[in-house]
Structure formats: structure tokens, C-alpha cells
């Protein structure tokens, strides 16, 4: 009996030692995390990020040749578009690959690390992933507009000899999987739903002497007929999905929200529309400028057709970018970081002219003239 008792005491002792070791490890991890967080809080912005993205020793990057026209982030890098080429950079500013596209009116859009470049008015487009791999396609007629879905599907609207507009949808290998022809409307913008199944196409029309928007809703996985709805007295500029059943049409002076084919609800804004974005979930973000006092107004509009948040900034609007739940607003005098409630969290004064901006969680890329600069934000 004594031997059994001694064995039980031994097992209890080992269990207590094991539990003690686990608690010591947990406490050490918590202390280390608190220490790292404390150090990160007092270090200049970007000190930690530099350890993971190659730093910024190659910046500013001076460009030669044609002046760049656009910039956007990619996975572990960014791309710069010019009239003749598309250049993919590592985050440290070194060139990963360069593609001479030869397009007359190049337009870029990006989703989930895949970029679409199409030639508006031309007959070519291609996709490029974050490794620089390219897949190219040709169209039989002139491209009107294009869009890329989260699953890598691509929609291209073109002219046609039998239709006013002809939409072709390709899978992520650029194999044709769906097409649709509109008899009388010329599409100006396209949008995919978040599940990549539904596609909306917007056309500018007129009714009783006023502009209006004809919205086609297409199911790319079936051959069901398109549903068409008209939004009166609106000059449409862009279209987006707020969810799979709700579409927002961004116009020159208002946003119209359509849900399940119901009568549109409108949000009208004051001032001149300068930027818009659909990257925040469930809302569309618009920037307007009240020219009489030089104030920029940023507003998010939700599925009810009402403003969910709004803020005014005493600066002239230049560009807008959104990374996850963070807005980056570029003004003439500074760059402003805002959360999704539109509270300003950081401000970076500018000492040079910047025309375009692209951002990640850790850094932003500033495009000004023939110079690319990098600024850490976390």
C-alpha cells in the first residue's frame, strides 16, 4: 500500500510541475507580447514593418520615360501604370517585372492579388498575378469597360455588330464561360457581387430630356434572363454591390441604392464628386469638394440609402484609397488616415506634390510626377 501511495504522490507532483511549467510559458509569452507592443508604440512608424517588407532604402524611386498615370497595391508589392508599360515592384522599391502593354487607353483594377489591365477602345486585355505571371486575351470588338471578381473571373464589355453592348465573362484562366448581348444600351461600368456569381452592367440613357441609368443584373452561372431596372434623373459614373441583393449606383450628384428590384432610394450630396470607392464592406464611400470654401467632405452611404458616417477635412481632395478597414485620403497639404467610422487617426503633412496614392496596412506608396515615395503608417 505504501508503494501505491508513493506512486500516486509522485504522479500528483509531476502533474503540478507540468501545470506550473505551462503557466510559466504562458506568462512569458504574455510578457514578451506586451514588451513588443510597448516597444512598437514608442518606435517611429514603420520600424517593425521594415523588418518584413525589405525597408525603404531604395526610395525615392526616380522614373524615366513617360509619366506614370496610376498605382495600386499587390500582394507583397505594388504596380505602377504608364501609357506604355506596367511595372511590378517589390515593397522595397526594386523592380520585379516590367510589361510593355502597347495600349492606347490602359485601365487597371485589382482583386485579391490579381490585376486586370484592359485597353479602353482597343481589343486586348490581360491579367497579372503577384508573381508577375501574365495571361492575355483578345476581343473581336472595341472594349468599353471591364472588371475583375474576387475569384479571378473577368468581365469585358465590348461593342458588337449585332448588339449595342456585348459582355463576355471569363474564368481565372481566361476561358470564356458566359456572354450576354444588350440590344440598345451601351455599358459604361461593370460590377461583380462578392461571391463572384452575379454581374451588374450599367448604361447611360436619357428619359424626358434627363440622364438616367439602366441597370442590368446577370447571373453568370445560369442562362436566366437579365433583369433591367432604370434609375431616373441620374448621370451614372460607377456601380457596385453592397451585398448580393443590393446595388449602389454612384452618380454625378447622388447615390441611388437598389435592393431586390425595389424602387431606388437616393442620397444626394453637396459639392462636386471627386473620388469614390467601394472597398469598405456594405457601404460606398464618396468624396465631394465644396469649392466655395475648399473643404472636402467624405461620406459613407449604406444599404438604406443614408449616410452611415461623414467627416469634413479642410484640404483639397486629390485621391482616395482603402486598405481593409482603413481609409487613406490624399489632399493637397497632407495624407489623412481614417477608420471606418471616418475618425482621423493619423496625419502626414506633404512637402511635395502627390497625384496618386496606394496603401497597405503597413505602408503607402505616393506617386508624384516621375518620383515614387514610400511612407510607413504602422
Q: Say whether the peptide bond before residue 293 is cis (omega within 30 degrees of 0).
A: no
- CB crowding 307-326: b at 16 or more within 10 Å, else e: bbbebebebebbbbbbbeeb
Average pLDDT, the chain: 88
Q: Is the pLDDT of residue 47 over 50?
A: no
- Which phi and psi (to 5°) does residue 248 adopt? -115, 130
- Which phi and psi (to 5°) does residue 171 adopt? -80, -175
Could you read off the pLDDT of 161-170 as tens digits, one per residue? 999 999 999 9
Pairing verdict, β 77-81 and 85-90: antiparallel
Could you read off the pLDDT of 62-87 as tens digits, one per residue? 988 778 999 999 988 999 999 999 99
Could you read off the pLDDT of 112-150 as tens digits, one per residue? 999 999 999 999 999 999 999 999 999 999 999 999 999
Instruction: Please tell me what DSSP assigns to residue 252.
Output: S
Q: How far is CA 242 from CA 143, 150, 282, 327, in A?
A: 26, 14, 5, 17
Number of Cβ atoms within 10 Å of the Cβ of 205: 17
> Which pLDDT score, from 0 to 100, does residue 7 have?
52
**End-to-end Cα separation, the chain, in angstroms:** 64
H helix and E strand count, the chain: 2, 32
> Which pLDDT score, from 0 to 100, does residue 40 have?
46
Amino acid at each position: 500500500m505504501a508503494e501505491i501511495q508513493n506512486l500516486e504522490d509522485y504522479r500528483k507532483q509531476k502533474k503540478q510541475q507540468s501545470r506550473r511549467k505551462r503557466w510559466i510559458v504562458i506568462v512569458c509569452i504574455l510578457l514578451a507580447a506586451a514588451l513588443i507592443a510597448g516597444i512598437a508604440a514608442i518606435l517611429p512608424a514603420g520600424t517593425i514593418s521594415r523588418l518584413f517588407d525589405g525597408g525603404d532604402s531604395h526610395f525615392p524611386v526616380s522614373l524615366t520615360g513617360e509619366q506614370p498615370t496610376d498605382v495600386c497595391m499587390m500582394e507583397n508589392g505594388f504596380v505602377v501604370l504608364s501609357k506604355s508599360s506596367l511595372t511590378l515592384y517589390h515593397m522595397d522599391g526594386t523592380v520585379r517585372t516590367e510589361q510593355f502593354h502597347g495600349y492606347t487607353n490602359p485601365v487597371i483594377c485589382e482583386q485579391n492579388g490579381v490585376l486586370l489591365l484592359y485597353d479602353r477602345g482597343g481589343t486586348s486585355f490581360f491579367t497579372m498575378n503577384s508573381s508577375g505571371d501574365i495571361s492575355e486575351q483578345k476581343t473581336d470588338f472595341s472594349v468599353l469597360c471591364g472588371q475583375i471578381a474576387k475569384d479571378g473571373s473577368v468581365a469585358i464589355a465590348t461593342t458588337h455588330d449585332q448588339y449595342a453592348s456585348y459582355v463576355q465573362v471569363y474564368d481565372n484562366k481566361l476561358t470564356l464561360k458566359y456572354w450576354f448581348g444588350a440590344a440598345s444600351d451601351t455599358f459604361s461600368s461593370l460590377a461583380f457581387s462578392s461571391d463572384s456569381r452575379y454581374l451588374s452592367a450599367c448604361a447611360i440613357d436619357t428619359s424626358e430630356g434627363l440622364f438616367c441609368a439602366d441597370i442590368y443584373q446577370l447571373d453568370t452561372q445560369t442562362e436566366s434572363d437579365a433583369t433591367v431596372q432604370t434609375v431616373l434623373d441620374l448621370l451614372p459614373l460607377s456601380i457596385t454591390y453592397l451585398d448580393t441583393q443590393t446595388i449602389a449606383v454612384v452618380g454625378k450628384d447622388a447615390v441611388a441604392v437598389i435592393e431586390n428590384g425595389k424602387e431606388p432610394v437616393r442620397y444626394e450630396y453637396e459639392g462636386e464628386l471627386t473620388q469614390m470607392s467601394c472597398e469598405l464592406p456594405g457601404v460606398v464611400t464618396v468624396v465631394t469638394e465644396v469649392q466655395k470654401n475648399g473643404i472636402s467632405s467624405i461620406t459613407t452611404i449604406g444599404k438604406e440609402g443614408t449616410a452611415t458616417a461623414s467627416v469634413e477635412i479642410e484640404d483639397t481632395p486629390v485621391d482616395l484609397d482603402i486598405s481593409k478597414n482603413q481609409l487613406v485620403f490624399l489632399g493637397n497639404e497632407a495624407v489623412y488616415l481614417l477608420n471606418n467610422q471616418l475618425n482621423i487617426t493619423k496625419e502626414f503633412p506633404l512637402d511635395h506634390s502627390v497625384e496618386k496614392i496606394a496603401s497597405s496596412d503597413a505602408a503607402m506608396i505616393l506617386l508624384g510626377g516621375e518620383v515614387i515615395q514610400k511612407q510607413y503608417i504602422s
